[in-house]
Amino acid sequence: MNTRETISAEKKYNKWIVILAIVVPILVAILSRVKLQDFGIEVEPLSFLPPIYALINGLTAVILIIAFIAIKNKKIVLHENLMTTAIGCSGVFLIMYVAYHMTSDSTEFGGEGAVKYVYYFILLTHILLSIIIIPFVLITYVRAITNNFERHKKIARITFPLWLYVAVTGVIVYLMISPYYV
C-alpha cells in the first residue's frame, strides 16, 4: 500500500474515532450518575467490582509494558495481540466501572492533610487523561491496522506513556480510596 492509500484507509476510521472519543466519556459520565434504584429497578450494589476493575487496570499496565518490550524485540504478532488485549481490558474496565456506579453510591475519600491533595491530584489527572487517551489509543490502533507504521510509531510514543499513566493511577486511586468503601 502506498502512502496515499494508507492515509485513505485511515480516513475511513476517522469519523468513528471522533464519535467514540466524544460519546464514550459522555456516556460514562452520564451512566455513572444514573442509579438503577431511581427507576424502581431493585439490584444489589455491585460492591465487589472495584477491586476487580482495579486489577484489570493493573493488568492493562502490565500488558502495555510487555507489549512495549515485545515490539522493541521485534515480536510484532505478540505486540499486536497484547495491544488488542489491552484495548479489550480497557473496555471491560469501563463496563464494570459504569455497572458499579449505577448500583452503588460514590465513595468519598476520607484522608486528610497532604494525602488528600495527593489523592485528588492523582484522581483529577487520571480522569482527564482517561478522556484524552481514548482518541490517542484509537488513532494509534488504526494506524497499525492500516499498516501506517511510521505514523503509528510517532503517535505511540505519546499514547504509551499516557495510557500507562492512566492504568497505573487507576490502581493507585483504588488503593487510596479502598479503606473508605462501605
**Per residue in 86-109, pLDDT tens?**
999 999 999 999 999 999 988 999
Give CA–CA dist 97/103, Å, rounded: 10
> 3-180 — its CATH code?
1.20.120
Question: Which of these, 146, 137, 139, 153, lies nearest to 90 by C-alpha position?
Answer: 137
Print pLDDT tens along the chain (182 aa): 667 777 777 888 999 999 999 999 999 999 989 999 888 888 999 999 999 999 999 999 999 999 999 999 999 999 999 999 999 999 999 999 999 999 998 899 999 999 999 999 999 999 999 999 999 999 999 999 999 999 999 999 999 999 999 999 999 999 999 999 87
Greatest Cα pair distance, the chain, in angstroms, is 58
Distances in whole angstroms, Cα of residue 151 to Cα of each of 3, 24, 135? 11, 25, 15
Give the pTM. Answer: 0.91
The CA distance from 97 to 49, in Å, is: 8
* Cβ neighbours around 57 below 10 Å, total: 24
Give the pLDDT confidence score for residue 10 in this predicted structure.
Answer: 83
Report the pLDDT value the prediction gives residue 93, as an integer from 0 to 100.
96
Q: Give 68: exposed, middle or buried? Use CB within 10 Å, 0-12, 13-18, 19+.
A: middle
Supply the pLDDT for residue 2: 64
Q: In terms of Cα–Cα distance, which of 112, 134, 107, 89 is closest to 50?
A: 107
